[in-house]
Amino acid sequence: MRNLRLALAQTNPTVGDIDANTDAILSAVKNAATSQPNIIAFGEMAVTGYPIEDLATREHFVASAEAAVNRLAKKLMEEGYGDIAVVVGHPSLAEENDRNGWAIAHNTVSVLLNGLVTQTYSKQHLPNYSVFDEYRNFVPGTTSVDFEFQGLRIGLAICEDIWQAGDPVASLAQKQCDLVLVLNGSPFETDKDDRRTALVQKVASTTRAVTAYVNLVGGQDDLVFDGDSFVANPDGEVVGRAAQFAEDLLVVEISGSPSNATLVSPHAAHKLDDDWQVWNALVLGLRDYCAKNGFKSVVLGLSGGIDSAVCAAIATDALGASSVYGISMPSVFSSDHSKSDAADLADRLGCNYFTVPIERMVNAFEDELQLSGLASENLQARVRGVVLMGLSNQHGHLTLTTGNKTELAVGYSTIYGDSVGGFAPLKDVEKTMVWRLASWRNKHAEAFGQVPPIPENSISKPPSAELRPGQIDQDSLPPYETLDAILERYVGLHMSPVEIAAEGYEPSIVSKIVGLVDKAEWKRRQSAIGPKITGMAFGRDRRLPITNRFKE
């Protein structure tokens, strides 16, 4: 066995932008060249971005991706990188269709060398749970692939392949591979990094091969790929780890035997603490949604409350203060502290800030329609929605909706009111975590000698929608600590109300909360997308009928 220098490249592809994505791969190869790698691996579907969803069922799309891979191989050769093995993920047309002709493509990895595609492997285990629809959109591969390169035996795997028993891992172990390359499109979830590490260590130990895990980075709709690529040796040691939430290149040298894998590239990458990881995921999710969809600025309502404050801080971190437009829209029920806390926030962030009082618009509706109670409360929220969308349409801002996961769960929001917007930064962040993130962000600022962005008063005051005099959230909901605990059990863990009550929660409260969650499904269906950060996000992660009379 000879020496081999391996590079893992975390690119941030945009779904469908095949030319830009292959250009990024070429650039990464050029940049890596100074480290003299023999082989460079990229993430799953780095050529097309991931997930491509039903684009996989369009023959023209898949053919375009395959053509781009062939052009890339030639281009690498022409530019003098023909002797580097470049390992890239992309869809490829399957020889046999299945499922009534729906799935026509494989989820494939190609090895490009000397201007040609020299190896092709197609994913055998297609995840079709949680947010993944791969069995819907791909034909599974049936053959494991390994090949000799520079005196080493190299095996290929794609993401879910190593989360399931059997081939390809079993086959690669049998073939005594020296190096296993695992290409991934693995979205961020809190605590998932530890599970990935343990899994890859197990693959390394099973196969007795250096095992390299390379992941995409970047936001794609409701998913955030966190990078965090790493290499483990057969003894289970993590040899090197790339940055989280940023494009990066990791270079490892394998000399003599798999156990002698050593880090080549200087790397300060270290694990961020949990809150910092979540914050980065939310920032990257929003930044990439804007960048990849052509938005240069965002608009959002600033109520003086904690949700809008945290959203504005995320937006400022993502886009810069000059690209954030905060609108205060006081009504007759708005307290003085609401207005002053909103102004204080905008001042701390340095973002744009405008006030649009809504009383006149609300009165115009109330004079025409006889509304009372909830209908009248919703009216105020909807007038604010119309204001934000008017400004969005006029100035081209993306509208952010500031609701959190807890609100979305129990339907504690006004559809077409505070829910308007193209992106929901806190969609998967429960209320208690919103507070925690606010405190974390302030402490983080202090640690770096900056002004804490969130007004202390927005963190400490009792939350209120301020849609009627003296209203606070806890008038109609249990304390948020209890509410979030029940929601985590019902939504996150699939527990039944009986099981939840058995843990000591008041049965009538559990029953009320579960009823609210079920009843709000129609609103969630019409809600904006937002970054998934937990094991069970609302959206394609949790698919339930609207019409559903099951009483747990």
Binders in 54-113 for its own copies, by CB under 8 A: 54-55, 57-61, 64, 99-100, 102-103
Q: Among 8-16, 232-240, 247-255, 442-450, which window interacts with its own copies (CB under 8 A)?
A: 8-16
Phi, psi of 105 (to 5 degrees): -125, 155
Q: How far is the CB of 274 from its own copies (least distance, A)?
A: 23
Name the residue nearer to its own copies (CB basis): 32 or 514.
514
Pick from 93, 117, 136, 444 the residue near its own copies by CB under 8 A: 136
CA 81 remoteness from chain centre: 33
Pick from 173, 249, 379, 520 the residue near its own copies by CB under 8 A: 379
At position 386, the amino acid (one-letter code) is: V
Task: Reply yes or no on whether 74 is catalytic.
Answer: no
Q: How far is the CB of 528 from its own copies (least distance, A)?
A: 7
Phi, psi of 372 (to 5 degrees): -145, 170
3-state percent breakdown (helix, strand, coil) of the chain, nearest 5: 40, 20, 40
Give the span between the Cα atoms of 541 and 549, in whole angstroms.
Answer: 21
CB distance 388 to 412 below 8 Å: no
- Is position 221 an interface residue for its own copies (rule: CB under 8 A)? yes
Name the residue nearer to its own copies (CB basis): 55 or 346.
55
- Is position 476 an interface residue for its own copies (rule: CB under 8 A)? no
Give the span between the Cα atoms of 170 and 166, in whole angstroms.
Answer: 5
Task: Reply yes or no on whether 44 is catalytic.
Answer: yes
- Is position 235 an interface residue for its own copies (rule: CB under 8 A)? no
Name the residue nearer to its own copies (CB basis): 79 or 102.
102
Pick from 188, 289, 440, 480 the residue near its own copies by CB under 8 A: 289
Give the span between the Cα atoms of 542 and 548, in whole angstroms.
Answer: 14
Q: Among 78-86, 169-177, 372-380, 434-442, which window interacts with its own copies (CB under 8 A)?
A: 372-380
Task: Reply yes or no on whether 351 is catalytic.
Answer: no
Residues of span 11-50 touching its own copies by CB under 8 A: 14-18, 20
CB distance 184 to 216 below 8 Å: yes
Give the span between the Cα atoms of 300 and 388, in whole angstroms.
Answer: 7
For residue 147, the number of C-alpha atoms closer than 13 Å in the C-beta half-sphere is: 19
Residues of span 321-360 touching its own copies by CB under 8 A: 356-357, 360
Q: Among 180-188, 216-224, 244-252, 472-480, which window interacts with its own copies (CB under 8 A)?
A: 216-224
**Contact pattern from residue 405 through residue 444 relative to its own copies, giving x for each residue in contact according to CB under 8 A and a dash for the rest:** ----------xx---x-x----------------------
Residue partners of 47: CB distance under 8 A and separation at least 6: 13, 18, 21, 22, 25, 65, 68, 69, 72, 88, 89, 90
